[in-house]
Amino acid sequence: MQRLGLSLGAELETFSGLAGLGDLLLTCTDNQSRNRRAGLALAKGLSREQAQADIGQVVEGIRSVIEVRAMAAREQVEMPITEQVYQIVHRGADPLAAVQSLLARQSRAE
């Protein structure tokens, strides 16, 4: 996220404040988060459509991952987590295989 934001002119400090890290933590951990609930549903094997229907509200990440992936491609910024989320949500990739793919990557500073 930082690499993409910086390539688009964002300030590094934005990512460590409430608008960056705070929002990310809340989205990932709060049971009220539609994105978190959608992710848990996908991990259980539900389709994107089933997850969205069960939540009954707009799940922003379902559409925004398309745009973030496209921006990353335009900016030539590698975003492996975004790529795997896209593959799960929009291509039906297996979530476990996606996690294994991420964990198999060579370690480096990110």
pLDDT beyond 80 at 109 = no
Average pLDDT, the chain: 93
Q: Is residue 92 included in any domain, yes or no?
A: yes
Alpha helices for the chain (secondary structure H): 2-7, 23-29, 34-43, 48-55, 60-75, 80-91, 95-103
Would you say residue 63 lies in a domain? yes
Residue 88: inside a domain, yes or no? yes
Q: What pLDDT is recorded for position 54? A: 94
Virtual CA dihedral for 74, 83, 68, 5, nearest 10 degrees?
Answer: -80
Q: Which two tokens stand for residue 66?
A: 């398309």
Number of structural domains, the chain? 1
What mean pLDDT is predicted for residues 84-109?
Answer: 93
Per-residue pLDDT tens over the stretch 25-34: 888 899 999 9
The CATH number of whichever domain residue 77 belongs to comes to 1.10.1040.10
**How far apart are the C-alpha atoms of 42 and 48, rounded to whole Å?**
7
Domain residues for 49?
A: 34-103
Digit-coded pLDDT (tens) for 47-79? 999 999 999 999 999 999 999 999 999 999 999
Confirm whether 3 is domain-assigned: no
Q: What is the pLDDT of residue 19?
A: 80
Q: Is it the case that residue 16 has pLDDT exceeding 90? A: no
Tell whether 75 is covered by a domain: yes
Mean pLDDT for the stretch of residues 29-45 = 94
Q: Above 90 in pLDDT, residue 18?
A: no
Sign of the alpha-carbon torsion through 83, 1, 62, 31: positive
End-to-end CA, the chain: 10
Q: Is residue 9 part of a domain?
A: no
Burial 86-108 (b: 16+ CB within 10 A, else e): bbbbeeebebeebeeeeeeeeee
